[in-house]
């Protein structure tokens, strides 16, 4: 591949360009099998522009984004806080571990029917689903991170005169960060997948709801635009946490 790199700068984009070219050609020549025709790439881009200009995509995207951010941030914060309490204190861990062990295996979307009955179909429903989806993985990753800090490091800090609070903030939490970030990174992408599913099933606004409307109107171009937005958001959230993690831990790992 080195020779290709030398001849064509930015050669990594070639496979994407080839894929898009093939897509355009196959759609234009009507060679994609199936009863409903596949829109060419250029038409999807055109529709993307119309959806943005008309405000429909932006409105629905913002609805989803706000839900994801509130649910994800509160769920992660609660997961980290509870993870610290359980990882730091054995009694808390022993008391709460059995309950969380029972709840953790339930898929986030499994909560949907019962939450619909309890909360009704409003903004609180998707936010709660995202909260649950973010809480458990972050909780368990935080506990693992805290318990994984070598005992000698804690003892060293204690002998050097650090208080319990200082040990927690200056030794345990910084060393648990890689594990906490693993949880955050995985769940940041998962939050988007779950919100789309929740909106498709129960909520009238958001990217998921737009997807469902496009399906009923047989608008493959809009469906593709929505999937593209979803893909970019999953990737962006994951990359953001990789970036922050590297900034915080890259020097010493």
Q: Say whether residue 152 binds another protein (CB under 8 A).
A: yes
Alpha-carbon span 63 to 131, nearest angstrom: 16
Select the span of 10-18, 45-53, 154-162, 197-205 touching another protein (CB under 8 A).
Answer: 154-162
Query: What is the spatial distance between Cα 215 and Cα 223, in angstroms, rounded to a whole number?
Result: 7
Residue with tokens 């953001």: 240
Is 34 a binding residue for another protein by CB under 8 A? The answer is: no
3-class secondary structure, 10: coil
Q: Which is nearer to another protein, 247 or 253 (CB)?
A: 253
What are 242's two structure tokens?
A: 């990789």
Contact call for residue 156 and another protein (CB under 8 A): yes
Interface region with another protein, contact rule CB under 8 A, candidates 14-22, 115-123, 153-161, 190-198: 153-161
Interacting stretch for another protein, rule CB under 8 A, among 100-108, 145-153, 206-214, 221-229? 145-153
Instruction: Name which of 182 and 205 has its Cβ closer to another protein.
Output: 182
Q: Is residue 157 part of the contact set for another protein (CB under 8 A)?
A: yes
Is position 166 an interface residue for another protein (rule: CB under 8 A)? yes
Query: What are the contacts of 192-197 at 24+ separation with CB within 8 A?
Result: 192/64, 192/68, 192/230, 192/233, 192/234, 192/237, 193/230, 193/234, 194/108, 194/109, 194/129, 194/130, 194/133, 195/64, 195/67, 195/68, 195/71, 195/126, 195/129, 195/130, 196/64, 196/230, 197/109
Q: In terms of DSSP H, where are the helices of the chain? A: 2-7, 14-28, 41-54, 56-88, 90-103, 112-119, 124-147, 151-159, 164-167, 173-202, 207-216, 220-249
- Kindly state the number of chain residues that form the binding site for another protein, as judged by CB under 8 A: 21
Residue of the chain from 3, 91, 159, 216 that contacts another protein (CB under 8 A): 159
Q: Is residue 246 at the binding interface for another protein, with CB under 8 A as the rule?
A: no
Question: 12 vs 90, which CB is nearer to another protein?
Answer: 90
Say whether 24 sits in a helix, a strand or coil. Answer: helix
169 touching another protein, by CB under 8 A: no
Instruction: Report, in Å, the least distance between residue 109 CB and another protein.
Output: 38
Residue numbers 173-212 binding another protein by CB under 8 A: 174-175
Applying CB under 8 A, the span of 63-71, 158-166, 181-189, 192-200 interacting with another protein comes to 158-166
Q: Does 251 bind another protein (CB under 8 A)?
A: yes
The residues that touch another protein, with contacts defined as CB under 8 A, are 150, 152-153, 155-163, 166, 170-171, 174-175, 249, 251-253
């Amino acid at each position: 591949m080195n020779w290709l790199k030398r001849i064509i700068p930015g050669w990594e984009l070639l496979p994407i360009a080839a894929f898009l070219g093939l897509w355009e050609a196959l759609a234009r020549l009507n060679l994609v099998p199936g009863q409903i025709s596949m829109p060419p790439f250029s038409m999807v881009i055109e529709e993307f522009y119309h959806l943005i200009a008309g405000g429909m995509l932006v409105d629905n995207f913002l609805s989803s984004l706000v839900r994801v951010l509130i649910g994800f941030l509160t769920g992660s914060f609660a997961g980290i806080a509870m993870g610290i309490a359980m990882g730091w204190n054995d009694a808390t861990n022993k008391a709460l571990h059995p309950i969380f062990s029972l709840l953790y295996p339930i898929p986030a979307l499994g909560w949907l029917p019962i939450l619909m009955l309890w909360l009704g179909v409003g903004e609180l429903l998707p936010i709660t689903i995202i909260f649950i989806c973010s809480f458990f993985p972050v909780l368990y990753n935080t506990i693992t991170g805290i318990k994984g800090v070598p005992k000698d490091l804690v003892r060293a800090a204690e002998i050097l005169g650090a208080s319990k609070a200082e040990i927690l903030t200056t030794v345990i939490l910084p060393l648990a960060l890689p594990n906490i970030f693993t949880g955050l990174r995985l769940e940041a992408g998962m939050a988007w997948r779950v919100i789309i599913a929740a909106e498709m099933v129960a909520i009238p606004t958001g990217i998921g709801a737009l997807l469902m409307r496009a399906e009923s109107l047989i608008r493959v171009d809009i469906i593709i635009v929505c999937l593209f937005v979803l893909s970019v958001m999953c990737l962006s959230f994951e990359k953001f946490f990789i970036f922050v993690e590297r900034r915080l831990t890259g020097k010493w790992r």
